[in-house]
């Protein structure tokens, strides 16, 4: 399935004047010669698409690309169709970018797909979304200790709802079991267990604040602990504050493209995306979705992506999802 959405293009005279010099600075070397597509592997109900659409909207509002930007949805094969479109069908095409999220590194590992990290180069990481251990408002577990103690006392009876096996939520469940020396039952759902938690059919989820925040605010869920401090929920303790230190695999958001895209195009996009990150719209979006700035580019980003491949591979092997 393929859909395209054009970001908001209206810009007032004051905004145009304010950014005139900025835009000129972006055109001193390579620049796009056609509309740039920001590809997502999931649809409009996903946080990934929301991120892509916000980026495109700010690019268009500030007139950062000569021909603008649009978001393009290519669903299917757990992201493989989107990756193939960018890295193979449009190999070397600097006008095709893709949203960079954990699954687009992890899924090829699980599927033993050759359309993997090796065919891409990073543009930048932009934000990171923490994860929050969340229970139903009527849950007997008032603290994280309550939940962990119950899992120790009743092995296999406490149910962790999350995404498909191999998703970051399932991997974190495995990491938590080993860290706390507990036995929980991980159950995958299409909606990451959110509806099941509302109905009291699972005991907890370990998901992004953007998925559970509105239910917490309405009094239907409670947060027990977060991987990082949340501006919107300052009373929720972090795992570190509770004395715990284990890999949470927070959900990052950024952009990458075909490995054959030239350096000058990457440099153009990095400079433009720095301006997107500084915009009032993006700052508001980050706060509203309990995200945090996580800017990484260049050689540091390439090193991080290579490390993520190694981490995901080892966890998948430890979970017997792939052979060693």
% of the chain exceeding 90 in pLDDT: 74
The side-by-side arrangement of strands in the sheet containing 292-297 is 2-6, 69-74, 36-40, 96-100, 251-258, 120-129, 292-297
Domain boundary among 226, 259, 284: 226
Domain span at residue 209 reads 132-226
170/140 same-domain check: yes
3 state SS of 185: strand
Q: Is the dihedral of CA 215, 204, 130, 299 positive or negative?
A: negative
Asked, for residue 232, whether it belongs to a domain, the answer is: no
Helix 263-278 vs helix 47-61: crossing angle, to nearest 10: 90
pLDDT of residue 249: 87
284/142 same-domain check: no
31/122 same-domain check: yes
6/122 same-domain check: yes
Q: What is the mean pLDDT of residues 270-295?
A: 94
How confident is the model over 128-158, as pLDDT tens digits? 989 999 999 999 999 999 999 999 999 999 9
pLDDT of residue 7: 43
56/21 same-domain check: yes
How confident is the model over 61-115, as pLDDT tens digits? 999 999 999 999 999 998 999 999 999 999 999 999 999 999 999 999 999 999 9
Asked, for residue 87, whether it belongs to a domain, the answer is: yes
310/209 same-domain check: no
Report how many domains make up the chain: 2
Structure tokens at 3: 């859909």
DSSP 238: B
Asked, for residue 231, whether it belongs to a domain, the answer is: no
How confident is the model over 172-228, as pLDDT tens digits? 999 999 999 999 999 998 788 999 999 999 999 999 888 899 999 999 999 999 999
Taking the model in full, what pTM does it have?
Answer: 0.79
* Contacts by 173-176, CB closer than 8 A, 24 or more apart: 173/206, 174/315, 174/318, 174/319, 175/246, 175/247, 175/248, 175/249, 175/315, 176/206, 176/246
Closest CA to 83 of 70, 69, 96, 71: 96
**In contact, 223 and 132? CB cutoff 8 Å:** yes
Asked, for residue 313, whether it belongs to a domain, the answer is: yes
Asked, for residue 95, whether it belongs to a domain, the answer is: yes
Asked, for residue 241, whether it belongs to a domain, the answer is: no
191/309 same-domain check: no
Domain boundary among 226, 243, 272: 226
166/49 same-domain check: no
3 state SS of 44: coil
How confident is the model over 3-57, as pLDDT tens digits? 544 443 333 333 333 443 344 345 468 999 999 999 999 888 778 899 999 999 9
Domain boundary among 226, 259, 274: 226
Asked, for residue 105, whether it belongs to a domain, the answer is: yes
116/144 same-domain check: no
């Amino acid at each position: 399935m393929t859909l395209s959405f054009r970001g908001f293009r209206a810009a007032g005279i004051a905004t145009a004047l304010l950014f005139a010099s900025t835009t000129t600075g972006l055109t001193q070397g390579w620049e796009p010669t056609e509309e740039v597509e920001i590809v997502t592997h999931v649809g409009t109900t996903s946080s990934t698409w929301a991120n892509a659409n916000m980026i495109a909207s700010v690019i268009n509002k500030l007139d950062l690309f000569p021909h603008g930007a649009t978001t393009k949805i290519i669903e299917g094969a757990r992201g493989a169709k989107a990756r193939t479109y960018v890295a193979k069908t449009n190999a070397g095409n600097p006008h095709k970018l893709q949203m960079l999220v954990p699954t687009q590194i992890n899924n090829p590992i699980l599927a033993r797909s050759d359309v993997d990290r090796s065919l891409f180069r990073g543009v930048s990481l932009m934000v990171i979304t923490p994860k929050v251990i969340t229970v139903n408002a009527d849950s007997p577990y008032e603290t994280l200790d309550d939940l962990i103690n119950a899992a120790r006392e009743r092995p296999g009876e406490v149910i962790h709802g999350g995404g498909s096996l191999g998703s970051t939520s399932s991997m974190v469940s495995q990491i938590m079991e080993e860290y706390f020396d507990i036995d929980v039952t991980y159950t995958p759902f299409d909606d990451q267990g959110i509806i099941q938690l509302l109905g009291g059919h699972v005991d907890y989820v370990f998901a992004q604040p953007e998925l559970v925040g509105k239910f917490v605010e309405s009094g239907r869920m409670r947060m027990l602990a977060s991987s990082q401090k949340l501006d919107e929920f300052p009373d929720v303790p972090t795992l570190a504050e509770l004395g715990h230190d284990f890999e949470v695999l927070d959900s990052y958001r950024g952009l990458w493209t075909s490995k054959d895209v030239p350096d000058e195009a990457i440099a153009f996009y990095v400079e433009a995306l720095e301006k997107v990150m500084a915009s009032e719209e993006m700052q508001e979006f980050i706060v509203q979705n309990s995200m945090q700035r996580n800017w990484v580019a260049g050689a540091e980003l390439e090193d991080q992506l290579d490390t993520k491949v190694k981490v995901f591979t080892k966890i998948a092997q430890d979970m017997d999802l792939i052979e060693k």
